[in-house]
Amino acid sequence: MALTLVPPLAACGATEPQNAADPSGNPADNWDTRGAKALRGAIAGRAAHGLDHLDFDASADPDSAEGRAALTRTALRYAAALARGASDPTKLYDLYTIPRPDPDLKAGLARALAEGKLADWLNGLAPQGPAYTALSHAYLALRAPDARPSPAIPAAPEALRPGASDPRIPAIARQLIASDYLSAPPPQGDRYSDAMVAAVKRMQADYGIKPDGVIGADALGILNLSDQDRARALAVAMERLRWLERDPPKTRIDVNTAIARLAYWRDGKLVDSRKAVVGEPGKETPQLGSPIFRLVANPTWTVPRSIQESEFAGKGAGYLKAHDMAMKDGWIVQQSGPDNSLGLVKFDMQNEHAIYLHDTPAKALFGEVQRQRSHGCVRVDDATGFAARIASDEGVREDWDKARQSGKESFVSLPHAIPVRLLYQTVYLDDHGEPVIHADPYDWDERVARKLGFGTRTGHVLKGGSGDIGP
């Protein structure tokens, strides 16, 4: 059963509609005292959606035409925030093509008012899945009047180094566990153990800090993520979920570029999850919706102009020959083979931005914590195994095996294109269904937070410049 995030208002004391309700007409014709009260009650509970930093004025009097028009405007604005988001990602980012909800809110509002079910209708507009519910519960817990602020870990005159003892160790361990960097139970005593050092290094890598395990001012600042910062991240995460269609394709591939992981859904079930390498800051993987329509075995790589003019500037013929590259019609082309920058598999996608999934010879990158390293395309861990799985699921495994064995660039079309969503979500659920706040490697949450009414926050932004020439 879907959780009702905003409790419906009790009907006691409500008045009967003054005018005959017309569910197909103008919503303004259906307002009465009961409808206005229901709207105010719903808006009063907007913290359940992380919208409590935004104002929705529902104080107008439903007895006047002007008041009913004002209530309609407010109701439609609040309904849009729940149904599609309070912000527009296509205006926040240079590129955003992931499918979004588009309900007829005006007709829905008229019907809800006519039937006396405004609160129920508004509740149903927001996402109803377990992820949104978990985010909502966590946000409300942080915003509760009786919530106790998490105590800050105090600073010290000197940085905490591996092997040292410090009375702050239990508090540091608790924070590392809460952020999913350290497995519970926490270590005993006050020694900065090897396990904690490894956890701190993972955290540092996530946030673009030198992963040396030394807890100085920067690392302590991350560990001291305030409740306000947590609430901010949770509200942004809910907003990002509201941008997404409520009934996504049952078979699809989702890539979360914030944590560099891929999830493969088949017939409504999660059947595969694996690491990915995505665009580095400055060459970010865009938030894109685009289907895979064919598999490419033993791909060649035509180097894009942007990479050709930057990474290949000044490279001579010797360099090109050493990397099995040659000029062809003014383009640099790398021949098929295990050392090709696309590896042995390419997953062709239908978009005009030259973004796709592919294999890579740089396997070591999948062992890194911070995997924002590419020029924007998505590298898939064990891409050959993943391609074989897709080929089997789509009934073209025999064709795919022949293409692989040919040793030449070969194309195998899929009977059904598989939708891919390149998402960006800095909060994810752990194995217990609890939200974990991750780093914001592209600093993309800040612009969303401002649209939700949160103040400006300066965080740790990952820096690009990996030097990797691959796409």
pLDDT score at 461? 59
Ordered DSSP codes for 201-258: HHHHHHTTS--S--B-HHHHHHHT--HHHHHHHHHHHHHHHHTS-SS--SSEEEEETT
For the chain, the domains span: 27-143, 169-225, 240-451
The span from the CA of 182 to the CA of 177, in Å, is: 5
pLDDT score at 2? 36
H helices within 20-129, ranges in order?
33-44, 65-83, 89-92, 105-115, 118-125
**Active-site residue flag, 353:** no
Look at domain 240-451 and name its CATH class: mainly beta
pLDDT score at 344? 97
The span from the CA of 198 to the CA of 176, in Å, is: 11
**Active-site residue flag, 377:** yes
Is residue 113 within 8 Å of 198, Cβ to Cβ? Answer: no
- For 394-417, letters b (16+ CB in 10 Å) and e give bebeebbeebbeeeebbebebeeb
DSSP 287: B
Is residue 253 within 8 Å of 386, Cβ to Cβ? Answer: no
What SS3 class is residue 320? helix
pLDDT score at 3? 36
Is residue 293 within 8 Å of 417, Cβ to Cβ? Answer: yes
pLDDT score at 27? 74
pLDDT score at 12? 32
Listed as ranges, residues in the chain with pLDDT below 50 are 1-21
Is residue 156 within 8 Å of 165, Cβ to Cβ? Answer: no
pTM of the prediction?
Answer: 0.86
The residues with which 276 forms a beta bridge, in sequence order, are 380
The span from the CA of 222 to the CA of 200, in Å, is: 10
Residue among 49, 377, 438, 460 flagged as catalytic: 377
The span from the CA of 188 to the CA of 213, in Å, is: 19
DSSP 349: E
Residue among 358, 375, 438, 460 flagged as catalytic: 358
